[in-house]
Structure 1
Amino acid sequence: MRWMDAMARVSVAEFASAGGLVEVGGVEYDSRRVKRGDVFVAMRGGVADGNRYIESAIAQGAAAIVTDSREAYDVLRLMHPEVGAALVERGRRALAEVSAAILGHPERKLALSAVTGTNGKTTTALLLEQMLRSVGRQCVLIGTIETHVGDEVRDSEHTTPEASDTLRVFADGVKVGATEAVMEMSSHALEQERVWGLPVDVAIFTNLTQDHLDYHGTMEAYLAAKLRLFEGEGAPAPRVAVVNADDAVGEAVIRIAGRSNVMTYGLAGGDYRAEDVVLAAGETRFLFKTPKGDLAIHSPLTGRVNVYNLLAASCAALARGLALEQVAAATEGLRQVPGRFQVVPSRNGVTVVVDYAHTDDALRNLITLARELVKEQRGRVITLFGCGGDRDRTKRPRMGRAAGEGSDLVVLTSDNPRSEEPAAILDEALVGVKETGTECIVEEDRATAIATAIRAAKAGDIVLIAGKGHEKVQILKGGTVPFDDVAVAAGVLAELER
């Protein structure tokens, strides 16, 4: 594609075509990945400035440069007149627009369902994808745990990638016949315009609780970032908005989603409701009440939080054209989501669960579910958790309080301390636990802490290992090391069962 054609729909402040003869074949924002003939989009980020790597990109063979720096643009015109150059105000918007043009606009060939919210994004996205696949539709999935391109499973580096990476996945999906895309849209991605220009057909809101205030600063700013999905990010507003009517900010989402067809769901309210809910370990049943009729739902998922996830995914599936009977049939065969109330097999009567809960609200919901499951056996709830470093510090005592209020024993340990000292993080979380008076064991080493929690349990008890879920590494001050909560727990159980 000619450089001028790739830039045809990009809003530019200044443009140099290098004689109009420059041909481009790809687009990159990481200079290390640039190939001969690529466009390199140099943009300023929160941590790094891509403009520092323009020379490196040219040395790698970049045929054209898009920059959001006037100084870098002027140097380019002077030092590299043979290279196409464009000065833009917003680098991420340009990255999205150039990528879409070069890749042949794959976003226009897929019906996109996008999920946002504090908790439940990953599960809801995976459930919706399974429902769509159950009626024979090929899908692309982009999320926290993994990325799917048809039947191919790839690792995910970020919940929501940069625009060029997303569009490449979409293009790969189109090649294998995909007609649907499902993705998680984080508040960071919406705020940073990483999803600019993606036409969303169905937008889903799960809930809003305190998280990411280290980045957004206030709950108002956090909510505003989420609401951008329902306004349209460089694209029209979604055709359908699926909104949790039971959430405290549900009404605010509905107001913003006024240009969309709104479907509300919930247990207490909403047009699509779950009634006569029956919960058990490995089983959830409810009557799905809808304006189009009622239907019995049976799922192998566990817990009240998964009722909400099932409602959200079911509404989105209906919005994408599935019939009620198809939704009900799909829920029967839904598979467990890794790291979301994942039960580690045990033969000693102790239930061990690994879950991603990493906010006080998610932790409270997890413990409430565990309490319901052990009620008949009069078992105890043992909760292991930690708090992430370099993240919102104000939620640490809140998480400690949530753990202490619902548990019989709390084991406080490291999560991903990152650049912080683990002991300092533990001290801040311990304040909340102490307010409840619940017994608490503090063990900085996570593997030792998991062993301590499981060894403290007796038959009929449930051990919750919270915070990291599906993650396979632990991020420490000295670097990243392999760590898998499920594998560590399974190892401890195997020793006890010998």
Structure 2
Amino acid sequence: MKMNEILAGVDFLRRTGRDADISGVEYDSRRIGPGSLFVAMQGGTTDGNRYAAAAIHSGAAAVVTDSEATYREIENSNAELVLVAHGRRALAQVSANFFEHPEETLALSGVTGTNGKTTTAFLLDAMLNHAARKTVLIGTIEYHVAGAVRSSPHTTPESRDLLALFREGVDAGATEAVMEVSSHALAQARVYGLAYDVAIFTNLTRDHLDFHGTMEDYFAAKKKLFDGSELRAPRVAVINGDAAYGAQLAEAARKVGAEVFLYGISEGDYRADRIRMNAAGMEFAMVTPQGRVDIATRLTGRVNIYNLLAASAAAMARGLSLEAVRDGIASLACVPGRFQSVDAGQDFTVVVDYAHTDDALRNLIALAREFVTATGGKVITLFGCGGDRDRTKRPLMGQAAAEGSDFVVVTSDNPRSEDPEAILRDILPGIKDGKAEFVTELDRKAAIRLALERAKPGDIVLLAGKGHEKTQTLREGTISFDDAEVAVDALRNLKGARA
């Protein structure tokens, strides 16, 4: 493809060159090959402009840069050069041109919020697939491209990688895309230029303040999906009316012409009636503008009622019938790492869950409490906090665990470059204020065994924080670690020791 075609619609400040032939678009200099276009842009942790010369040395035919200094430094190279004001927006635009705008073929549904994005996206994807629609699914756990499963390095990838996945999906016959849209992606223009047909808001609670700084800035990033300020306004906005910021977001969406549907447990356009639940699943009547339908699902808990209502409203906005929604919900067995049961024949319940904010942890423990109240069992909670992330939520998570649990094991999550002991010290002030008995064990494997050893018949053990993750990130590097697998091994050894 010619450089002129790749720059179509891109606002640039300066350009030198010869309309080069371009073989690929990259923002990572390590992926450069002969004829590549390298987009050198300022990022959150590094500045790609530092690698512009290396990209040219590796065969880049052209460089798009958002740095005047970089432009001057490589101006005498053989590569074609383009100076832009905003690197990430330029990356989105040139990638869309290079991949021949697959996003225009797909009906896009985007899910944003602090908690519930993954489950809502999985549910919507399951409904669409069950209705024989081919989809692309982009999210925290994994990516799906017309049925093929890929690993997920980021909840929302950089625009170039996202558009490459869209291209693969369209080539394989996909007509729909369901995406988790993170606040980071919205703030960093990773989804710049995309037009969402349906936008979904789950909730907004304290998280990612290490990146956004304040809740107001966090909300402002989420709002971009709905208010038409940087993205085209969605045709339909599906918004949790029970959530903080829900009413404010609904007003913003209406102002730019979106059709707004609210959902909530007892109020809203989509709501739930006659709820019955247990640890194995739940049933309820879903009330919608199109009528009522009885829902039976293997998911459980109040939080999952919200997720089901959100996904159902979005699916019906995409043209599915009540019956298709009902059947699509029934087709989904579970969402990995989201209230995932671990069964090795033990006489108590073990659940792995991704809860990694104080709000999510509080909701998880409240759900567990509902299930053990009838049996007189206890709630045992294991959790930690990630390193190099918002430190202010650490005592709040300790408080949430101590308020609702009978016994708490505080351990390590993904400490990354931080000292696990320092993370623990941040958690303890919150947990010490509660009434729950607690212990600390920084070795997560040993901590899981300790929590399981404490359990008695009728109890529930919550292994919180990592959910679907298959690794643990330490200062020394990344190791294989799966909470569910570690729990199964510990349960089998424990069963043998008790025999």
2:198 aligned with 1:239? no
Partner residue in 2 for 1:19 = 18
Partner residue in 2 for 1:405 = 403
Deviation of residue 268 (structure 1)?
3.2
Runs of 4+ residues deviating >3 angstroms:
232-235
Deviations 1:6-34 (A, max 9, x none): 10210101122x233x1112100000001
Cα contact 1:274–1:289 (8 A) shared by 2: yes
Q: Whole-Å Cα distance in 2 between the matches of residues 271 and 428 of structure 1? A: 42
Q: Secondary structure at the match of 1:338?
A: coil
Q: Whole-Å Cα distance in 2 between the matches of residues 393 and 76 of structure 1? A: 41
Deviations 1:411-454 (A, max 9, x none): 11011111111112112211111101210011111100000000
Mapping 1:84-233, distance limit 5 Å: 84-232=80-228
Partner residue in 2 for 1:457 = 455
- Quick one: which amino acid aligns to residue 5 of structure 1? E
- Quick one: which amino acid aligns to residue 144 of structure 1? T
Deviation of residue 269 (structure 1)?
2.0
Q: Whole-Å Cα distance in 1 between the matches of residues 118 and 253 of structure 2? A: 22
Q: Whole-Å Cα distance in 2 between the matches of residues 431 and 471 of structure 1? A: 28
Higher mean C-alpha deviation, range 449-458 or range 48-57: 48-57
- The percent of aligned pairs where both chains have the same amino acid is 58
Q: Whole-Å Cα distance in 1 between the matches of residues 120 and 272 of structure 2? A: 16
Deviation of residue 234 (structure 1)?
4.5
Deviation of residue 108 (structure 1)?
0.3
Q: Whole-Å Cα distance in 1 between the matches of residues 79 and 230 of structure 2? A: 28
- Quick one: which amino acid aligns to residue 234 of structure 2? P
Q: Whole-Å Cα distance in 2 between the matches of residues 409 and 234 of structure 1? A: 47
The unaligned stretches of length 5 or more in structure 2 are none
Cα contact 1:68–1:88 (8 A) shared by 2: yes
Q: Whole-Å Cα distance in 1 between the matches of residues 318 and 495 of structure 2? A: 47
Deviation of residue 330 (structure 1)?
1.3
Q: Whole-Å Cα distance in 2 between the matches of residues 271 and 336 of structure 1? A: 26
Match of 1:446 among 444, 447, 450: 444
Cα contact 1:25–1:102 (8 A) shared by 2: no
- Quick one: which amino acid aligns to residue 246 of structure 1? D
Higher mean C-alpha deviation, range 409-418 or range 164-173: 409-418
- Quick one: which amino acid aligns to residue 106 of structure 2? L
- Quick one: which amino acid aligns to residue 101 of structure 1? N
Q: Whole-Å Cα distance in 2 between the matches of residues 322 and 286 of structure 1? A: 19
Q: Secondary structure at the match of 1:285?
A: strand
When the two structures are superposed, what TM-score results if normalisation uses the length of structure 1?
0.98
Q: Whole-Å Cα distance in 1 between the matches of residues 229 and 112 of structure 2? A: 13
Deviations 1:234-275 (A, max 9, x none): 442111100000001101110111121101101132111111
Deviations 1:128-187 (A, max 9, x none): 000000010000011101000011100000001000000000000001000000111100
Q: Secondary structure at the match of 1:231?
A: coil
Deviation of residue 284 (structure 1)?
1.3
2:486 aligned with 1:492? no
Q: Secondary structure at the match of 2:225?
A: helix
2:423 aligned with 1:420? no
Mapping 1:362-377, distance limit 5 Å: 362-377=360-375
Cα contact 1:284–1:307 (8 A) shared by 2: no
Partner residue in 2 for 1:9 = 9
Cα contact 2:14–2:84 (8 A) shared by 1: yes
Cα contact 2:135–2:169 (8 A) shared by 1: yes
Kindly tell me the number of residue pairs found equivalent between the two proteins. Answer: 494
Cα contact 1:314–1:327 (8 A) shared by 2: yes
Partner residue in 2 for 1:344 = 342
Partner residue in 1 for 2:316 = 318
Q: Secondary structure at the match of 1:47?
A: coil
Deviations 1:65-89 (A, max 9, x none): 1000111112332x21x32111000
Deviation of residue 291 (structure 1)?
1.6
Deviation of residue 117 (structure 1)?
0.1
- Quick one: which amino acid aligns to residue 216 of structure 2? E
The unaligned stretches of length 5 or more in structure 1 are none
Q: Whole-Å Cα distance in 1 between the matches of residues 334 and 311 of structure 2? A: 15
- Quick one: which amino acid aligns to residue 491 of structure 1? D
Mapping 1:460-471, distance limit 5 Å: 460-471=458-469
Q: Whole-Å Cα distance in 1 between the matches of residues 55 and 135 of structure 2? A: 34
Match of 1:388 among 371, 386, 399: 386
When the two structures are superposed, what TM-score results if normalisation uses the length of structure 2?
0.98
